[in-house]
Structure 1
Amino acid sequence: MSAPAMPQPEALSTRYMAWYRFTRNPAAVIGAFMVVTVILAAIFAPLIAPYPDHVGAVVDFRNRHAAPDMAHLLGTDKVGRDILSRVVFGFRVSLFLVIGVLGVAVPVGAALGLAAGYFSGLTERIITGFTNVMLAIPPLVMALAIGNVLEPNLVNAMLAITLLWWTWHARLVYRVSKSIAAEDFIEAARLAGASHWHILTREILPNCISVISVKTTLDAAFVILFGATLSFLGLGVKPPTPDLGSMVADGRQFLPEMWWEVLAPGFAIFYATLGFNLLGDGLRDMFDVEA
Protein backbone atom coordinates (compact mmCIF):
# COMPACT_ATOMS: atom_id res chain seq x y z
CA MET A 1 0.00 0.00 0.00
CA SER A 2 1.37 3.36 -0.97
CA ALA A 3 1.89 6.00 1.70
CA PRO A 4 -0.79 8.69 1.95
CA ALA A 5 0.02 11.77 -0.05
CA MET A 6 1.35 14.70 1.94
CA PRO A 7 -0.63 17.93 1.61
CA GLN A 8 0.86 20.37 -0.82
CA PRO A 9 2.39 23.56 0.65
CA GLU A 10 -0.13 25.73 -1.16
CA ALA A 11 -2.95 23.87 0.59
CA LEU A 12 -1.62 24.55 4.04
CA SER A 13 -2.76 27.53 6.03
CA THR A 14 -0.55 30.56 6.39
CA ARG A 15 -0.45 30.07 10.14
CA TYR A 16 0.68 26.47 9.83
CA MET A 17 3.36 27.38 7.33
CA ALA A 18 4.64 30.13 9.63
CA TRP A 19 4.82 27.69 12.55
CA TYR A 20 6.50 25.14 10.27
CA ARG A 21 9.19 27.67 9.35
CA PHE A 22 9.73 28.47 13.03
CA THR A 23 10.08 24.85 14.15
CA ARG A 24 12.50 24.13 11.30
CA ASN A 25 14.76 26.98 12.40
CA PRO A 26 17.20 25.52 14.98
CA ALA A 27 18.31 28.94 16.21
CA ALA A 28 14.70 29.98 16.81
CA VAL A 29 13.90 26.82 18.75
CA ILE A 30 17.04 27.20 20.86
CA GLY A 31 16.15 30.84 21.50
CA ALA A 32 12.62 29.90 22.54
CA PHE A 33 14.01 27.28 24.92
CA MET A 34 16.42 29.80 26.44
CA VAL A 35 13.66 32.38 26.93
CA VAL A 36 11.35 29.80 28.50
CA THR A 37 14.07 28.73 30.94
CA VAL A 38 14.68 32.35 31.94
CA ILE A 39 10.95 32.93 32.47
CA LEU A 40 10.53 29.71 34.47
CA ALA A 41 13.58 30.56 36.58
CA ALA A 42 12.07 33.96 37.34
CA ILE A 43 8.65 32.56 38.19
CA PHE A 44 9.88 29.70 40.35
CA ALA A 45 12.93 31.47 41.76
CA PRO A 46 12.04 30.75 45.42
CA LEU A 47 11.83 27.03 44.60
CA ILE A 48 14.90 26.86 42.36
CA ALA A 49 17.31 28.99 44.36
CA PRO A 50 19.25 26.83 46.87
CA TYR A 51 19.46 29.74 49.33
CA PRO A 52 16.38 31.96 48.83
CA ASP A 53 17.18 34.06 51.88
CA HIS A 54 20.46 35.16 50.27
CA VAL A 55 18.57 37.62 48.07
CA GLY A 56 18.19 39.94 51.03
CA ALA A 57 20.47 41.59 53.54
CA VAL A 58 22.15 38.35 54.59
CA VAL A 59 25.85 38.07 55.44
CA ASP A 60 27.95 34.97 56.00
CA PHE A 61 31.52 36.16 56.32
CA ARG A 62 32.80 32.65 57.03
CA ASN A 63 31.93 31.75 53.42
CA ARG A 64 32.80 35.03 51.70
CA HIS A 65 34.50 34.67 48.31
CA ALA A 66 34.03 30.90 48.40
CA ALA A 67 34.95 29.22 45.12
CA PRO A 68 32.33 27.10 43.34
CA ASP A 69 31.75 23.77 45.11
CA MET A 70 28.91 21.40 45.88
CA ALA A 71 27.52 23.69 48.58
CA HIS A 72 27.62 26.77 46.33
CA LEU A 73 27.64 25.73 42.68
CA LEU A 74 28.58 29.22 41.46
CA GLY A 75 30.47 30.31 44.55
CA THR A 76 29.68 33.16 46.93
CA ASP A 77 30.15 36.93 46.84
CA LYS A 78 32.00 39.38 49.07
CA VAL A 79 29.62 38.89 52.00
CA GLY A 80 29.12 35.14 51.59
CA ARG A 81 25.83 35.12 49.67
CA ASP A 82 25.18 32.30 47.22
CA ILE A 83 25.69 33.61 43.69
CA LEU A 84 23.46 31.02 42.01
CA SER A 85 20.52 32.06 44.17
CA ARG A 86 21.10 35.71 43.41
CA VAL A 87 21.45 35.06 39.67
CA VAL A 88 18.12 33.21 39.62
CA PHE A 89 16.40 36.09 41.39
CA GLY A 90 18.30 38.48 39.11
CA PHE A 91 16.38 37.01 36.17
CA ARG A 92 13.18 38.01 37.96
CA VAL A 93 14.34 41.62 38.25
CA SER A 94 15.36 41.68 34.58
CA LEU A 95 11.97 40.36 33.46
CA PHE A 96 10.13 42.84 35.68
CA LEU A 97 12.12 45.53 33.89
CA VAL A 98 11.22 44.13 30.46
CA ILE A 99 7.51 43.89 31.33
CA GLY A 100 7.44 47.35 32.88
CA VAL A 101 9.26 49.08 30.04
CA LEU A 102 7.74 47.31 27.04
CA GLY A 103 4.32 47.13 28.68
CA VAL A 104 4.22 50.93 28.42
CA ALA A 105 6.51 51.69 25.48
CA VAL A 106 4.90 49.28 23.01
CA PRO A 107 1.24 50.41 23.41
CA VAL A 108 2.21 54.10 23.48
CA GLY A 109 4.52 53.82 20.50
CA ALA A 110 2.08 51.68 18.52
CA ALA A 111 -0.83 54.06 19.19
CA LEU A 112 1.15 57.10 18.10
CA GLY A 113 2.53 55.30 15.06
CA LEU A 114 -0.95 54.19 13.99
CA ALA A 115 -2.35 57.70 14.38
CA ALA A 116 0.49 59.27 12.41
CA GLY A 117 0.32 56.73 9.62
CA TYR A 118 -3.44 56.79 9.22
CA PHE A 119 -4.51 60.40 9.75
CA SER A 120 -1.57 62.08 7.99
CA GLY A 121 -1.60 65.88 7.74
CA LEU A 122 -1.03 67.88 10.92
CA THR A 123 -1.33 64.81 13.14
CA GLU A 124 1.42 63.08 11.19
CA ARG A 125 3.73 66.10 11.31
CA ILE A 126 3.28 66.64 15.06
CA ILE A 127 3.82 63.00 16.02
CA THR A 128 6.72 62.33 13.68
CA GLY A 129 8.37 65.63 14.59
CA PHE A 130 8.15 64.93 18.32
CA THR A 131 9.34 61.36 17.78
CA ASN A 132 12.37 62.54 15.82
CA VAL A 133 13.25 65.03 18.54
CA MET A 134 13.12 62.30 21.19
CA LEU A 135 15.13 59.95 18.98
CA ALA A 136 17.90 62.54 18.87
CA ILE A 137 18.44 62.16 22.63
CA PRO A 138 20.88 59.33 23.47
CA PRO A 139 18.99 56.85 25.68
CA LEU A 140 21.92 56.31 28.04
CA VAL A 141 22.33 60.05 28.57
CA MET A 142 18.63 60.41 29.43
CA ALA A 143 18.80 57.41 31.75
CA LEU A 144 21.89 58.76 33.50
CA ALA A 145 20.24 62.16 33.95
CA ILE A 146 17.08 60.66 35.44
CA GLY A 147 19.08 58.27 37.58
CA ASN A 148 21.08 61.13 39.04
CA VAL A 149 17.97 63.18 39.81
CA LEU A 150 15.76 60.41 41.18
CA GLU A 151 16.50 57.72 43.72
CA PRO A 152 18.03 54.61 42.13
CA ASN A 153 15.41 51.83 42.17
CA LEU A 154 13.58 49.53 39.79
CA VAL A 155 10.69 51.92 39.14
CA ASN A 156 12.95 54.84 38.26
CA ALA A 157 15.09 52.58 36.07
CA MET A 158 11.96 51.57 34.15
CA LEU A 159 10.95 55.22 33.86
CA ALA A 160 14.35 56.21 32.52
CA ILE A 161 14.25 53.56 29.81
CA THR A 162 10.57 53.96 28.90
CA LEU A 163 10.81 57.71 28.28
CA LEU A 164 12.72 57.07 25.08
CA TRP A 165 11.96 53.47 24.18
CA TRP A 166 8.48 54.16 22.80
CA THR A 167 10.01 56.18 19.96
CA TRP A 168 11.37 53.11 18.16
CA HIS A 169 7.96 51.46 18.13
CA ALA A 170 6.25 54.66 17.04
CA ARG A 171 8.57 55.02 14.07
CA LEU A 172 8.26 51.36 13.07
CA VAL A 173 4.46 51.22 13.33
CA TYR A 174 4.18 54.57 11.54
CA ARG A 175 6.14 53.22 8.58
CA VAL A 176 4.05 50.06 8.36
CA SER A 177 0.66 51.68 8.97
CA LYS A 178 1.40 54.42 6.42
CA SER A 179 1.89 51.75 3.78
CA ILE A 180 -1.22 49.81 4.82
CA ALA A 181 -3.38 52.96 4.90
CA ALA A 182 -2.73 53.40 1.19
CA GLU A 183 -4.10 49.94 0.32
CA ASP A 184 -7.36 49.52 -1.57
CA PHE A 185 -9.11 47.60 1.21
CA ILE A 186 -8.68 50.57 3.55
CA GLU A 187 -10.34 52.85 0.99
CA ALA A 188 -13.09 50.27 0.58
CA ALA A 189 -13.65 50.29 4.34
CA ARG A 190 -13.95 54.08 4.30
CA LEU A 191 -16.48 53.98 1.46
CA ALA A 192 -18.46 51.35 3.36
CA GLY A 193 -18.84 53.82 6.23
CA ALA A 194 -16.40 52.20 8.69
CA SER A 195 -15.33 54.49 11.53
CA HIS A 196 -11.75 55.58 12.07
CA TRP A 197 -11.61 53.41 15.20
CA HIS A 198 -12.78 50.36 13.25
CA ILE A 199 -10.23 50.92 10.50
CA LEU A 200 -7.39 51.48 12.96
CA THR A 201 -8.15 48.53 15.26
CA ARG A 202 -9.72 46.01 12.89
CA GLU A 203 -8.00 46.68 9.59
CA ILE A 204 -4.58 48.28 10.15
CA LEU A 205 -3.49 47.09 13.59
CA PRO A 206 -3.88 43.33 12.88
CA ASN A 207 -1.54 43.77 9.92
CA CYS A 208 1.04 45.37 12.22
CA ILE A 209 0.97 42.70 14.93
CA SER A 210 3.68 40.54 13.38
CA VAL A 211 6.09 43.47 13.08
CA ILE A 212 5.30 44.65 16.61
CA SER A 213 5.83 41.13 17.99
CA VAL A 214 9.24 40.79 16.38
CA LYS A 215 10.34 44.25 17.50
CA THR A 216 9.12 43.64 21.06
CA THR A 217 10.99 40.35 21.35
CA LEU A 218 14.23 41.86 20.07
CA ASP A 219 13.77 44.87 22.34
CA ALA A 220 13.45 42.61 25.38
CA ALA A 221 17.12 41.70 24.94
CA PHE A 222 18.15 45.35 24.67
CA VAL A 223 16.10 46.31 27.74
CA ILE A 224 17.80 43.59 29.81
CA LEU A 225 21.21 44.76 28.64
CA PHE A 226 20.35 48.42 29.15
CA GLY A 227 18.97 47.77 32.62
CA ALA A 228 22.11 45.84 33.53
CA THR A 229 24.18 48.79 32.32
CA LEU A 230 22.29 51.18 34.58
CA SER A 231 22.73 48.87 37.55
CA PHE A 232 26.41 48.46 36.74
CA LEU A 233 26.73 52.25 36.92
CA GLY A 234 24.86 52.33 40.23
CA LEU A 235 21.66 53.82 38.80
CA GLY A 236 19.47 50.74 38.83
CA VAL A 237 18.10 48.50 41.53
CA LYS A 238 19.17 49.32 45.06
CA PRO A 239 21.09 46.70 47.05
CA PRO A 240 20.64 44.18 48.50
CA THR A 241 18.10 43.32 45.78
CA PRO A 242 19.94 41.00 43.37
CA ASP A 243 20.47 42.51 39.92
CA LEU A 244 22.74 41.02 37.30
CA GLY A 245 24.38 44.33 36.41
CA SER A 246 25.12 45.30 40.00
CA MET A 247 26.48 41.81 40.68
CA VAL A 248 28.99 42.27 37.87
CA ALA A 249 29.92 45.69 39.25
CA ASP A 250 30.44 44.28 42.75
CA GLY A 251 32.52 41.35 41.54
CA ARG A 252 34.84 43.20 39.16
CA GLN A 253 36.89 44.68 42.01
CA PHE A 254 37.98 41.17 42.99
CA LEU A 255 39.18 40.10 39.55
CA PRO A 256 40.97 38.00 38.52
CA GLU A 257 41.16 35.91 41.71
CA MET A 258 37.40 35.70 42.34
CA TRP A 259 36.46 35.34 38.68
CA TRP A 260 33.22 33.50 39.43
CA GLU A 261 31.66 36.62 40.97
CA VAL A 262 31.68 38.27 37.53
CA LEU A 263 31.43 35.24 35.26
CA ALA A 264 28.14 33.93 36.65
CA PRO A 265 26.01 37.11 36.41
CA GLY A 266 27.78 38.12 33.20
CA PHE A 267 26.93 34.81 31.58
CA ALA A 268 23.34 35.15 32.84
CA ILE A 269 23.02 38.50 31.03
CA PHE A 270 24.52 36.94 27.90
CA TYR A 271 22.17 33.94 28.12
CA ALA A 272 19.01 36.04 28.48
CA THR A 273 19.88 38.54 25.77
CA LEU A 274 21.00 35.84 23.34
CA GLY A 275 17.80 33.90 23.92
CA PHE A 276 15.55 36.87 23.15
CA ASN A 277 17.64 37.79 20.11
CA LEU A 278 17.47 34.27 18.68
CA LEU A 279 13.74 34.12 19.36
CA GLY A 280 13.21 37.51 17.73
CA ASP A 281 15.16 36.46 14.65
CA GLY A 282 13.10 33.28 14.51
CA LEU A 283 9.85 35.23 14.71
CA ARG A 284 11.07 37.56 11.99
CA ASP A 285 11.70 34.58 9.68
CA MET A 286 8.41 33.03 10.77
CA PHE A 287 6.37 36.11 9.89
CA ASP A 288 8.66 37.01 7.00
CA VAL A 289 8.89 40.65 8.07
CA GLU A 290 11.58 43.27 8.54
CA ALA A 291 11.92 44.96 11.94
Structure 2
Amino acid sequence: MSVIGSDEKVLSSRYMQWYRFSRNPAALIGAVIVLSVLLAALFAPYIVPHPDHAGAVVDFRSRHAAPDMAHWFGADKVGRDIFSRTIFGFRISLLLVFGVLGISVPLGATLGMLAGYFGGWTERIVSGLTNVMLAIPPLVMALAIGNVLEPNLVNAMFAITLIWWTWHARLVYRVSKSISAEDYIEAARMAGASNFHVLTREILPNCIAVISVKTTLDAAFVILFGATLSFLGLGVKPPIPDLGSMVADGRQFLPEKWWEVLAPGFAIFYATLGFNLLGDGLRDMFDVEA
Protein backbone atom coordinates (compact mmCIF):
# COMPACT_ATOMS: atom_id res chain seq x y z
CA MET A 1 0.00 0.00 0.00
CA SER A 2 2.84 2.36 0.79
CA VAL A 3 4.36 1.74 -2.65
CA ILE A 4 1.04 2.49 -4.34
CA GLY A 5 0.63 5.59 -2.25
CA SER A 6 4.15 6.71 -3.15
CA ASP A 7 3.48 6.15 -6.86
CA GLU A 8 0.25 8.13 -6.64
CA LYS A 9 2.08 10.97 -4.92
CA VAL A 10 4.75 11.04 -7.66
CA LEU A 11 2.09 11.04 -10.40
CA SER A 12 0.18 13.80 -8.62
CA SER A 13 3.34 15.88 -8.31
CA ARG A 14 4.20 15.41 -11.99
CA TYR A 15 0.65 16.28 -13.00
CA MET A 16 0.81 19.51 -11.01
CA GLN A 17 4.13 20.37 -12.61
CA TRP A 18 2.72 19.79 -16.09
CA TYR A 19 -0.40 21.72 -15.17
CA ARG A 20 1.68 24.74 -14.13
CA PHE A 21 3.74 24.51 -17.33
CA SER A 22 0.73 24.10 -19.63
CA ARG A 23 -0.99 27.10 -18.02
CA ASN A 24 2.03 29.31 -18.69
CA PRO A 25 1.64 30.92 -22.14
CA ALA A 26 5.23 32.21 -22.19
CA ALA A 27 6.58 28.74 -21.46
CA LEU A 28 4.51 27.20 -24.26
CA ILE A 29 5.67 29.89 -26.68
CA GLY A 30 9.26 29.20 -25.65
CA ALA A 31 8.79 25.46 -26.20
CA VAL A 32 7.35 26.07 -29.67
CA ILE A 33 10.24 28.42 -30.56
CA VAL A 34 12.89 25.96 -29.37
CA LEU A 35 11.18 23.10 -31.21
CA SER A 36 11.00 25.17 -34.41
CA VAL A 37 14.72 26.02 -34.16
CA LEU A 38 15.60 22.35 -33.62
CA LEU A 39 13.46 21.21 -36.54
CA ALA A 40 14.78 23.95 -38.81
CA ALA A 41 18.36 23.01 -38.04
CA LEU A 42 17.67 19.29 -38.46
CA PHE A 43 15.83 19.58 -41.77
CA ALA A 44 17.71 22.61 -43.14
CA PRO A 45 18.77 20.96 -46.43
CA TYR A 46 15.14 20.12 -47.22
CA ILE A 47 13.40 23.38 -46.30
CA VAL A 48 15.72 26.10 -47.64
CA PRO A 49 15.49 27.20 -51.28
CA HIS A 50 19.27 27.21 -51.84
CA PRO A 51 20.95 24.53 -49.69
CA ASP A 52 24.18 24.78 -51.69
CA HIS A 53 24.56 28.41 -50.53
CA ALA A 54 25.62 27.08 -47.14
CA GLY A 55 28.99 26.38 -48.76
CA ALA A 56 31.49 28.15 -50.97
CA VAL A 57 29.08 29.48 -53.59
CA VAL A 58 29.46 32.75 -55.51
CA ASP A 59 26.68 34.38 -57.54
CA PHE A 60 27.67 37.96 -58.35
CA ARG A 61 24.48 38.51 -60.33
CA SER A 62 22.57 38.38 -57.03
CA ARG A 63 25.15 40.36 -55.05
CA HIS A 64 23.43 42.44 -52.32
CA ALA A 65 20.02 41.54 -53.77
CA ALA A 66 17.13 42.95 -51.75
CA PRO A 67 14.49 40.56 -50.34
CA ASP A 68 12.28 39.16 -53.11
CA MET A 69 10.68 35.87 -54.13
CA ALA A 70 14.03 34.40 -55.18
CA HIS A 71 15.81 35.45 -51.98
CA TRP A 72 13.32 35.85 -49.11
CA PHE A 73 15.84 37.55 -46.80
CA GLY A 74 17.97 39.01 -49.59
CA ALA A 75 21.48 38.02 -50.64
CA ASP A 76 24.89 38.80 -49.18
CA LYS A 77 28.02 40.39 -50.65
CA VAL A 78 28.78 37.40 -52.88
CA GLY A 79 25.17 36.62 -53.83
CA ARG A 80 24.44 33.84 -51.37
CA ASP A 81 20.87 33.44 -50.12
CA ILE A 82 20.69 34.86 -46.58
CA PHE A 83 17.60 32.86 -45.59
CA SER A 84 19.31 29.58 -46.47
CA ARG A 85 22.47 30.54 -44.62
CA THR A 86 20.48 31.74 -41.59
CA ILE A 87 18.68 28.40 -41.25
CA PHE A 88 21.98 26.54 -41.59
CA GLY A 89 23.41 28.96 -39.04
CA PHE A 90 21.05 27.47 -36.46
CA ARG A 91 23.01 24.24 -36.84
CA ILE A 92 26.25 25.88 -35.72
CA SER A 93 24.54 27.57 -32.78
CA LEU A 94 22.94 24.33 -31.61
CA LEU A 95 26.16 22.36 -32.10
CA LEU A 96 27.82 24.92 -29.85
CA VAL A 97 25.06 24.56 -27.27
CA PHE A 98 25.16 20.75 -27.25
CA GLY A 99 28.95 20.66 -27.26
CA VAL A 100 29.50 23.20 -24.50
CA LEU A 101 26.66 22.17 -22.20
CA GLY A 102 27.18 18.48 -22.93
CA ILE A 103 30.62 18.79 -21.32
CA SER A 104 30.28 21.62 -18.82
CA VAL A 105 27.01 20.50 -17.21
CA PRO A 106 28.12 16.93 -16.27
CA LEU A 107 31.56 18.21 -15.24
CA GLY A 108 30.24 21.08 -13.14
CA ALA A 109 27.42 19.03 -11.60
CA THR A 110 29.78 16.20 -10.67
CA LEU A 111 32.32 18.50 -9.05
CA GLY A 112 29.57 20.42 -7.26
CA MET A 113 28.01 17.25 -5.86
CA LEU A 114 31.35 15.91 -4.68
CA ALA A 115 32.23 19.17 -2.97
CA GLY A 116 28.83 19.51 -1.32
CA TYR A 117 28.65 15.91 -0.15
CA PHE A 118 32.19 15.18 1.02
CA GLY A 119 33.19 18.68 2.16
CA GLY A 120 36.71 19.00 3.62
CA TRP A 121 39.60 19.17 1.18
CA THR A 122 37.33 18.24 -1.74
CA GLU A 123 35.17 21.28 -1.01
CA ARG A 124 38.21 23.53 -0.62
CA ILE A 125 39.80 22.42 -3.90
CA VAL A 126 36.61 22.67 -5.97
CA SER A 127 35.56 25.99 -4.39
CA GLY A 128 39.05 27.45 -4.85
CA LEU A 129 39.25 26.39 -8.49
CA THR A 130 35.73 27.70 -9.13
CA ASN A 131 36.51 31.06 -7.53
CA VAL A 132 39.70 31.43 -9.58
CA MET A 133 37.88 30.71 -12.83
CA LEU A 134 34.97 33.01 -11.96
CA ALA A 135 37.42 35.85 -11.25
CA ILE A 136 38.40 35.86 -14.94
CA PRO A 137 35.96 37.72 -17.21
CA PRO A 138 34.48 35.10 -19.57
CA LEU A 139 34.88 37.17 -22.72
CA VAL A 140 38.51 37.99 -21.89
CA MET A 141 39.28 34.30 -21.35
CA ALA A 142 37.52 33.32 -24.58
CA LEU A 143 39.31 36.04 -26.55
CA ALA A 144 42.68 34.98 -25.15
CA ILE A 145 42.12 31.33 -26.03
CA GLY A 146 40.68 32.26 -29.42
CA ASN A 147 43.74 34.35 -30.24
CA VAL A 148 46.16 31.60 -29.24
CA LEU A 149 44.33 28.76 -30.98
CA GLU A 150 43.08 28.58 -34.55
CA PRO A 151 39.58 30.08 -34.90
CA ASN A 152 37.16 27.20 -35.49
CA LEU A 153 34.10 25.60 -33.91
CA VAL A 154 36.06 23.13 -31.75
CA ASN A 155 38.27 25.82 -30.26
CA ALA A 156 35.29 28.10 -29.69
CA MET A 157 33.58 25.27 -27.79
CA PHE A 158 36.75 24.71 -25.77
CA ALA A 159 37.01 28.41 -24.90
CA ILE A 160 33.42 28.59 -23.67
CA THR A 161 33.47 25.22 -21.87
CA LEU A 162 36.59 26.22 -19.93
CA ILE A 163 34.53 28.82 -18.07
CA TRP A 164 30.97 27.53 -18.24
CA TRP A 165 31.28 24.54 -15.89
CA THR A 166 31.97 26.85 -12.94
CA TRP A 167 28.40 28.17 -12.66
CA HIS A 168 26.95 24.67 -12.67
CA ALA A 169 29.47 23.54 -10.06
CA ARG A 170 28.56 26.43 -7.76
CA LEU A 171 24.80 25.89 -8.19
CA VAL A 172 24.90 22.12 -7.61
CA TYR A 173 27.32 22.58 -4.71
CA ARG A 174 24.80 24.75 -2.86
CA VAL A 175 21.96 22.28 -3.49
CA SER A 176 23.93 19.14 -2.65
CA LYS A 177 25.39 20.66 0.52
CA SER A 178 21.90 21.49 1.73
CA ILE A 179 20.58 18.02 0.86
CA SER A 180 23.55 16.29 2.52
CA ALA A 181 22.41 17.68 5.87
CA GLU A 182 18.96 16.07 5.59
CA ASP A 183 18.00 13.22 7.91
CA TYR A 184 17.24 10.75 5.12
CA ILE A 185 20.83 11.07 3.84
CA GLU A 186 22.15 10.15 7.28
CA ALA A 187 19.63 7.30 7.44
CA ALA A 188 20.89 5.97 4.09
CA ARG A 189 24.47 6.05 5.37
CA MET A 190 23.52 4.23 8.57
CA ALA A 191 21.69 1.61 6.49
CA GLY A 192 24.99 0.83 4.76
CA ALA A 193 24.47 2.71 1.50
CA SER A 194 27.69 3.50 -0.36
CA ASN A 195 28.76 7.02 -1.20
CA PHE A 196 28.08 6.27 -4.87
CA HIS A 197 24.54 5.17 -4.03
CA VAL A 198 23.88 8.28 -1.95
CA LEU A 199 25.25 10.58 -4.65
CA THR A 200 23.42 8.97 -7.58
CA ARG A 201 20.19 7.80 -5.93
CA GLU A 202 19.56 10.38 -3.21
CA ILE A 203 21.32 13.65 -4.10
CA LEU A 204 21.38 13.68 -7.91
CA PRO A 205 17.60 13.22 -8.40
CA ASN A 206 17.03 16.24 -6.16
CA CYS A 207 19.42 18.30 -8.31
CA ILE A 208 17.83 17.41 -11.66
CA ALA A 209 15.26 20.21 -11.52
CA VAL A 210 17.77 23.03 -10.93
CA ILE A 211 20.20 21.51 -13.44
CA SER A 212 17.46 21.35 -16.11
CA VAL A 213 16.41 24.95 -15.55
CA LYS A 214 19.99 26.24 -15.48
CA THR A 215 20.93 24.28 -18.61
CA THR A 216 17.96 25.61 -20.59
CA LEU A 217 18.68 29.20 -19.59
CA ASP A 218 22.37 28.72 -20.31
CA ALA A 219 21.61 27.55 -23.85
CA ALA A 220 20.52 31.11 -24.67
CA PHE A 221 23.71 32.57 -23.21
CA VAL A 222 25.88 30.06 -25.08
CA ILE A 223 24.25 31.08 -28.36
CA LEU A 224 24.88 34.76 -27.59
CA PHE A 225 28.43 34.07 -26.43
CA GLY A 226 29.21 31.99 -29.50
CA ALA A 227 27.73 34.68 -31.78
CA THR A 228 29.92 37.26 -30.04
CA LEU A 229 33.06 35.23 -30.66
CA SER A 230 32.11 34.74 -34.31
CA PHE A 231 31.31 38.45 -34.63
CA LEU A 232 34.85 39.19 -33.41
CA GLY A 233 36.32 36.72 -35.90
CA LEU A 234 37.10 33.97 -33.37
CA GLY A 235 34.35 31.52 -34.33
CA VAL A 236 33.94 29.19 -37.27
CA LYS A 237 35.76 29.82 -40.51
CA PRO A 238 34.04 30.97 -43.72
CA PRO A 239 32.24 29.83 -45.77
CA ILE A 240 30.46 27.91 -42.99
CA PRO A 241 27.33 29.93 -42.17
CA ASP A 242 27.38 31.28 -38.62
CA LEU A 243 24.92 33.84 -37.31
CA GLY A 244 27.51 35.98 -35.56
CA SER A 245 29.87 36.14 -38.54
CA MET A 246 26.92 36.92 -40.84
CA VAL A 247 26.08 39.95 -38.70
CA ALA A 248 29.74 41.01 -38.79
CA ASP A 249 29.88 40.68 -42.58
CA GLY A 250 26.66 42.61 -43.10
CA ARG A 251 27.34 45.54 -40.74
CA GLN A 252 29.83 47.13 -43.13
CA PHE A 253 26.99 47.67 -45.62
CA LEU A 254 24.60 49.37 -43.18
CA PRO A 255 22.25 51.14 -43.44
CA GLU A 256 21.66 50.63 -47.19
CA LYS A 257 21.83 46.80 -47.09
CA TRP A 258 19.98 46.44 -43.78
CA TRP A 259 18.62 42.97 -44.62
CA GLU A 260 22.11 41.43 -44.41
CA VAL A 261 22.16 42.13 -40.66
CA LEU A 262 18.46 41.90 -39.87
CA ALA A 263 17.95 38.22 -40.73
CA PRO A 264 20.86 36.67 -38.77
CA GLY A 265 20.37 39.19 -35.95
CA PHE A 266 16.70 38.28 -35.63
CA ALA A 267 17.62 34.57 -35.74
CA ILE A 268 19.91 35.05 -32.72
CA PHE A 269 17.15 36.94 -30.91
CA TYR A 270 14.56 34.30 -31.83
CA ALA A 271 16.62 31.37 -30.56
CA THR A 272 17.71 33.06 -27.32
CA LEU A 273 14.16 34.24 -26.62
CA GLY A 274 12.86 30.69 -27.00
CA PHE A 275 15.39 29.18 -24.59
CA ASN A 276 14.85 31.97 -22.06
CA LEU A 277 11.07 31.59 -22.11
CA LEU A 278 11.35 27.81 -21.87
CA GLY A 279 13.83 28.08 -19.00
CA ASP A 280 11.55 30.47 -17.10
CA GLY A 281 8.66 28.07 -17.68
CA LEU A 282 10.65 25.13 -16.34
CA ARG A 283 11.65 27.17 -13.31
CA ASP A 284 8.01 27.90 -12.55
CA MET A 285 7.07 24.28 -13.23
CA PHE A 286 9.66 22.83 -10.85
CA ASP A 287 9.27 25.78 -8.46
CA VAL A 288 13.03 26.18 -8.03
CA GLU A 289 15.60 28.98 -8.13
CA ALA A 290 18.41 28.84 -10.68
Q: How does 1:145-224 map to 2 (within 5 A)?
A: 145-224=144-223
Query: How big is the shift at 1:11?
Result: 11
Identity between Structure 1 and Structure 2 (%): 83
1:82 maps to what in 2? Answer: 81
The residue matched to 2:285 in structure 1 has which SS?
helix
1:250 is displaced (CA, Å) by 0.1
Corresponding residue number in structure 2 for 1:251 = 250
When the two chains are superposed, the root-mean-square deviation of aligned CA atoms in Å is 1.0
Alignment of 1:24-103 (within 5 A): 24-103=23-102
Amino acid at match of 1:212: I
SS at match of 2:252: helix
Q: Which residue of 1 aligns with 2:116?
A: 117
Q: CA deviation at 1:77?
A: 0.2
Aligned to 2:142: 143
| C-alpha distance in 2 between matches for 1:63 and 1:126 | 58
Aligned letter for 1:110? A
Q: Name the aligned partner's letter for residue 280 of structure 1.
A: G
Whole-angstrom distance in 2 between the partners of 1:145 and 1:126:
25
Q: Structure 1: which 5+ residue stretches go unaligned? A: 1-9
Alpha-carbon separation, structure 2, partners of 1:164 and 1:181: 26
Post-superposition Cα deviations, 1:237-279, rounded to whole Å, max 9, x if no partner, equal 1000000000000000000000000000000000000000000
Structure 1 Cα separation of the partners of residues 260 and 70 of structure 2: 16
Q: Normalised by the size of structure 2, how large is the TM-score?
A: 0.96
Cα distance in 2 for residues equivalent to 1:50 and 1:99 = 27
Query: Offset at 1:108?
Result: 0.2
Instruction: Give 1:202's aligned amino acid.
Output: R
1:207 partner letter:
N
Give the Cα separation in 1 of the matches to 2:163 and 2:90. 23
1:135-161 deviation per Cα after TM superposition (whole angstroms, max 9, x unaligned): 111110011001101110000000000
Distance in 2, matches of 1:206 and 1:109, equals 16
Which amino acid in 2 is paired with 1:243? Answer: D
Residue of structure 1 equivalent to 2:5: none
Cα deviation digits, residues 82-108 of structure 1 (max 9, x gap): 000000000000000000000000000
How big is each residue's C-alpha offset from its partner over 1:70-126, in whole Å with a ceiling of 9 and x where there is no partner?
Answer: 111000000000000000000000000000000000000000000000001111111
Post-superposition offset of 1:12: 6.7
- CA shift, 1:49, in A, is 1.3
Structure 2 portions without partners, runs of 5+ = 1-8
Shift of 1:48: 1.1
